[in-house]
Structure 1
């Protein structure tokens, strides 16, 4: 049974709940994801589960518990089953973890662990957690407080927001995945570097873009990395044939990176491969491969761009986070024009010829957007209209297609009797191509705006039917 060392006695009491009779009632199809499997004794808690096509109760199976706080448990499981290697695991995703306290999510995770470890033949040496964004932080936190988790795959984010659940010792293997345009890119790089400084077995995989779920080939590589390292530490038998198979796939992946133009990433990947296969493969082969990459005309340019961008990006991040925090705290609407200038400057970098700077600009914009969106729930609780106006207007600056943010701005500006601001953002909304007049006319929060003569004039200017 999972040894989560929780101090909260209330949670511990619930952990004593049993799940007898569950397995007998399950009718799970192998080779596909079964969604909304109920947790006995609850009305609302469910999970999604994947059993390999070759699944049999006579064999011990590795298991991955996947967490996505956006409640997309089926999609989270399918992100792993999309990878060929993922289809060799039992994969479980809970539907009820969310952006709340770690203790509440530990409770839900514990129930999942109890069910799966009791009712399925799980290999106790190959229990892994994984997660996306905030779910990645949860996966790492569980690994930090448990003696039974053997590895963590964290996508987009990894370090828990609570110091109590920060990893201290190298008790588990770690693979971090992040997009090279993700707002958490610098954080994930720093996390892996910090883990390695603490003698963790930590690897970093960087994919193109900023998608929530990594491409299947990167998930597959993450699973290969865990497999190689599990063999190295004796948790999994590994024949020479098995090692060779993993090695060839990793080298094919590496060459594909170079072929696709990601030359510097291919070089960095080799450093990790050299370490991971150090007990099995001669280092001369890796040296020869590094020489091949160095001969690529793009290598030196990408390396220099990467080193040069690092210092510049750190400068931007410190500056932006400092001033953004101050402006949110003050609800300083007057600073929005300055922020608009900064965002326009970033957009120019995005469109420029220097790809390293373009990706840096996208990372910075995504970072700012993440910070603001993560702040909104707490501001909703405070009911501070000035702050809410600022953050929603900031979201619109970063992403003019955010319809919900426009409606929030209209709501809060009307509440402050700032009708000029409301009309300004109404027109901004219509400039995006928005045409749902019915939604505008039925929104009770902006009823006082609708009686303003300018409201109907603006609708007519955009060819829409006015109320009066």
Structure 2
């Protein structure tokens, strides 16, 4: 998770100063059709870079429009923007999602990508400077928060899915942007997001936190709708958007009903949070006495304290269990041990895998999914810098740990094959490639273009794999 957070501070600050510089008011007629997603809009100044874009069907350059810049950790602009289309059309937002910003880039590169994206969209579209937001998932969420924290007002808010503030940046009394956080109940960052919610509440920072079904993945469309509605509400509250009393009434009723439903379902932590958020958001706009009274009542409940304690203990257990398994896996072989450390780690992983597949949602299933997804993401994150440093043994150990958690993952088998090839270990490299193909790997071009396999190109088994993949692609 740490590598998600590494952004070179000085370079980001410089880039964000550029972002906040006055933009030309002259608007160029967009080449983007309204009411539909365009998967690739090339930057005029950098044709090698692009973004996915959506303009609401009533878009016109004669007025300014609220805009969301979204960042996917794997530069998948299309996947990201699909989550926003319904909300963007309903509430009248421009959405642009980078096809280049991703985890693993250095601070200079990611700052330049965002700056170029900002410049191109401001030249191309009619953007409301007071209603400009960033959104992201995982490492993309951390980048969105980083930009909002450092650009001193150029971003009015952030929608953060699956992750919060990056290392080196903590919320404080000066945090002025709106924050809408979302995490799946199976997400390994769920505990982090709960703690962030408490911190923001103590600081009285305008924010909301929503838990949803699922794990470490992009925020679902329903939650995006809620997030964009919330940003729209706050724009009305701040006087930067026309006030719509009917819309405010609807939002108040919906959110009170949600708080009441949580209480009926005995989700006391969620209910308390929902009532407090209603009271905070609607104070001065609607009568919030009932929300305050219900929040006070819940805050004194023993059932609430019990649930809060269980959540805190689950998070600590997740961190401890994942840390112990990783430590065991990475220990060198000890001939004096009756069973290897890795064997013990494997047994513990297998136990969590069984719990992960339980049919009914439970605290055990949630914990299992958080532990295993944390280990998987950490393994990928640790393997990449190890590869860059040519520490192939460390990279291999991390990919193998991820494979122990997800043994049917074809891409992991391919990555393991690549590391063996870099170690010049031909036999296990070919065997891992064969395993990848058996598991469903189909990218012949990726295999042919991978330089690590160049010295195996004449091997009959390698040639057979290439032939198999090429034949499959033609069918």
TM over 0.5: yes
Report the Cα distance in structure 2 between the residues aligned to 1:42 and 1:371, rounded to whole angstroms. Answer: 33
Task: Structure 1: state its 5+ residue gaps.
Answer: 457-468
Provide closer, same or farther for how the CA distance between residues 330 and 91 of structure 1 changes in structure 2, counting only shifts above 3 A.
farther
Matches within 5 A, 1:284-323: 284-286=289-291, 304=306, 307-321=309-323
Report the Cα distance in structure 2 between the residues aligned to 1:400 and 1:85, rounded to whole angstroms. Answer: 41
1:255 Cα deviation from its structure 2 partner:
5.9
1:180 Cα deviation from its structure 2 partner:
0.8
SS of structure 1 residue aligned to 2:83: helix
**The one of 374, 396, 402 aligned to 1:395:** 402
Provide closer, same or farther for how the CA distance between residues 408 and 106 of structure 1 changes in structure 2, counting only shifts above 3 A.
closer
CA RMSD of aligned residues (A): 4.4
Report the Cα distance in structure 1 between the residues aligned to 2:36 and 2:94, rounded to whole angstroms. Answer: 11
Aligned to 1:269: 274
Are 2:379 and 1:377 aligned? Answer: no
Aligned to 1:117: 122
| Alignment: residue pair count | 440
Name which of structure 1's ranges 11-20 and 190-199 shifts more when overlaid on structure 2: 11-20
Are 2:195 and 1:190 aligned? Answer: yes
Provide closer, same or farther for how the CA distance between residues 101 and 194 of structure 1 changes in structure 2, counting only shifts above 3 A.
farther
1:311 Cα deviation from its structure 2 partner:
1.2
Report the Cα distance in structure 2 between the residues aligned to 1:325 and 1:388, rounded to whole angstroms. Answer: 15
Report the Cα distance in structure 2 between the residues aligned to 1:219 and 1:281, rounded to whole angstroms. Answer: 24
Aligned to 1:56: 60
SS of structure 2 residue aligned to 1:26: coil
1:207 Cα deviation from its structure 2 partner:
0.5
Report the Cα distance in structure 2 between the residues aligned to 1:445 and 1:301, rounded to whole angstroms. Answer: 62
Deviation per residue, 1:318-353 (Å, 9 max, x gap): 353366268548699953212212212223433566
SS of structure 1 residue aligned to 2:71: strand
**The one of 363, 379, 388 aligned to 1:356:** 363
Are 2:156 and 1:154 aligned? Answer: no
Aligned residues of 1:411 and 1:445 also touching (Cα < 8 A): no
SS of structure 1 residue aligned to 2:182: strand
Provide closer, same or farther for how the CA distance between residues 52 and 10 of structure 1 changes in structure 2, counting only shifts above 3 A.
closer
Provide closer, same or farther for how the CA distance between residues 82 and 266 of structure 1 changes in structure 2, counting only shifts above 3 A.
farther
1:372 Cα deviation from its structure 2 partner:
0.8
Report the Cα distance in structure 1 between the residues aligned to 2:249 and 2:13, rounded to whole angstroms. Answer: 49
Report the Cα distance in structure 2 between the residues aligned to 1:378 and 1:322, rounded to whole angstroms. Answer: 22
Provide closer, same or farther for how the CA distance between residues 229 and 331 of structure 1 changes in structure 2, counting only shifts above 3 A.
farther
1:205 Cα deviation from its structure 2 partner:
0.9
Aligned to 1:226: 231
Name which of structure 1's ranges 254-263 and 31-40 shifts more when overlaid on structure 2: 254-263
SS of structure 1 residue aligned to 2:136: strand
Name which of structure 1's ranges 199-208 and 18-27 shifts more when overlaid on structure 2: 18-27
Name which of structure 1's ranges 276-285 and 299-308 shifts more when overlaid on structure 2: 299-308
Report the Cα distance in structure 1 between the residues aligned to 2:407 and 2:433, rounded to whole angstroms. Answer: 12
1:300 Cα deviation from its structure 2 partner:
8.6
Aligned residues of 2:15 and 2:112 also touching (Cα < 8 A): yes
Aligned to 2:411: 404
1:86 Cα deviation from its structure 2 partner:
5.6
Deviation per residue, 1:272-313 (Å, 9 max, x gap): 22222222232343368779999xxxx998974553242143
1:141 Cα deviation from its structure 2 partner:
0.6
TM-score by length of 1: 0.78
Aligned to 1:69: 73
